[in-house]
Amino acid sequence: MPVHAVVFPGQGSQFAGMGRDLAAAFAPAREVFQEVDEALGERLSKLMFAGPIEELTLTRNTQPALMAVSMAVLRVLEREGGFDLAARAALVAGHSLGEYTALAAANSLGVADTARLLRLRGDAMQRAVPAGEGGMAALIGAELEQAREICVAAAVLRIEGAPDRIEVLEVANDNGGGQVVISGAAGAIGRALEIARERGVRRAMVLPVSAPFHCALMAPAADAMREALGAAHIAPPRLPVIANVTAAKVASPDAIRDLLVRQVTGTVRWRESVQAMLAIGVDDFIELGAGKVLSGLCRRIAPDARARSVGTPEEIEDLLRSF
């Protein structure tokens, strides 16, 4: 029998129109979107269904929106298809904001609370660094240790006649399959692109993001999340959850709070997370929500495992038939 892991996407999977076909086809999906709208006090669902994409891509909107689509898919599977997550899946995991979705799926967080936490997280991350002072870049064809060496070299700012200055530049996402994302000061990102090309990295490119996520520059956002998570109700999850910053299972509410705070400035260890799932026997990765980013990463990390994305009515029907 296959061993399933259910995974939830992070930022970069959003697109204008996401969730619209789910809302048209399924009452349980509409209920999730309404719950998120009410939690935020605005029609986020209208922005998701119709765009504009520029507004949807704002971090404060993207984060709760992606969670809403993933939870809508899960709610439809549960209500319309009798899908029991705890019985069907060995564990759940999510990429960056997707870790919050995984916790909501595991009944550790409520959907409304998750939406509010992600809105606060998005706002805090955007405020942490003034526009233009930070950035992120993807190194395609680089392995983790090579990316770390590039960060160390590029972090040094040399100014003639003055002491060297060390700027923040860190590995933000170890996505696996030769894809590493770095994050930090804008000048350091520029130097990293040049060094990466000099060292034979196949492709190095700036990412179109609004802030340098998952690095030390996000410390003010981590402080904001520490306060918010301290006040949030977090229950023990109904099935194991893999945490981004440890690539290991987390179960206690206090540990969940601590790891979610650390995640704001820490590396998303996705490659190691997938490897940890493989180690306990997972051979089928099911991505619930918008896009196909995580299923693609899982296929590159674990080419012998199955990886599929479920985000449309047709894909929901296909998944249910497979069980």
DSSP letter string over 109-127?
A: S-HHHHHHHHHHHHHHHHH
Can you give the pLDDT at residue 19?
Answer: 97
pLDDT at residue 323 in the model: 82
Per-residue pLDDT of the chain (323 residues; tens, 9 = 90+): 889 999 999 998 999 999 999 999 999 999 999 999 999 999 999 999 999 999 999 999 999 999 999 999 999 999 999 999 999 999 999 999 999 999 999 999 999 999 999 999 999 999 999 988 999 999 999 999 999 999 999 999 988 888 889 999 999 999 998 999 999 999 999 999 999 999 999 999 999 888 999 999 999 999 999 999 999 999 999 999 999 999 999 999 999 999 999 999 999 999 999 999 999 999 999 999 999 999 999 999 999 999 999 999 999 999 999 88
Cα 36 from Cα 8, distance rounded (Å): 17
Dist. CA 34–CA 50, nearest whole Å: 16
pLDDT at 124: 97
Measure the CA dihedral 71/75/78/80, to 10°.
Answer: -140
295 is catalytic: no
- For residue 160, the model assigns a pLDDT of 80
Burial of residue 323, with CB atoms counted within 10 A of its CB: 0-12 exposed, 13-18 middle, 19 or more buried: exposed
Question: What contacts 298, CB < 8 A, 6 or more positions away?
Answer: 7, 274, 285, 287, 305, 307
Q: Strand, helix or coil at 199?
A: coil
pLDDT at site 184: 98
- Of the candidates 96, 183, 273, 295, the residue annotated as catalytic is 96
- pLDDT number for residue 100: 98
Q: Tell me, what's the pLDDT at 210?
A: 82
DSSP state of 323: -
The pLDDT value given to residue 159: 82
How far apart are the C-alpha atoms of 314 and 204, rounded to whole Å? 36
Catalytic residue among 4, 95, 210, 214: 214
Is-catalytic flag, 95? no
Q: What is the pLDDT of residue 315?
A: 97
Please give the domain boundaries of the chain with CATH numbers for all domains.
4-128+216-322 (3.40.366.10), 134-206 (3.30.70.250)
**Maximum separation of any 2 CA atoms in the chain, in Å:** 69
Can you give the pLDDT at residue 291? 93
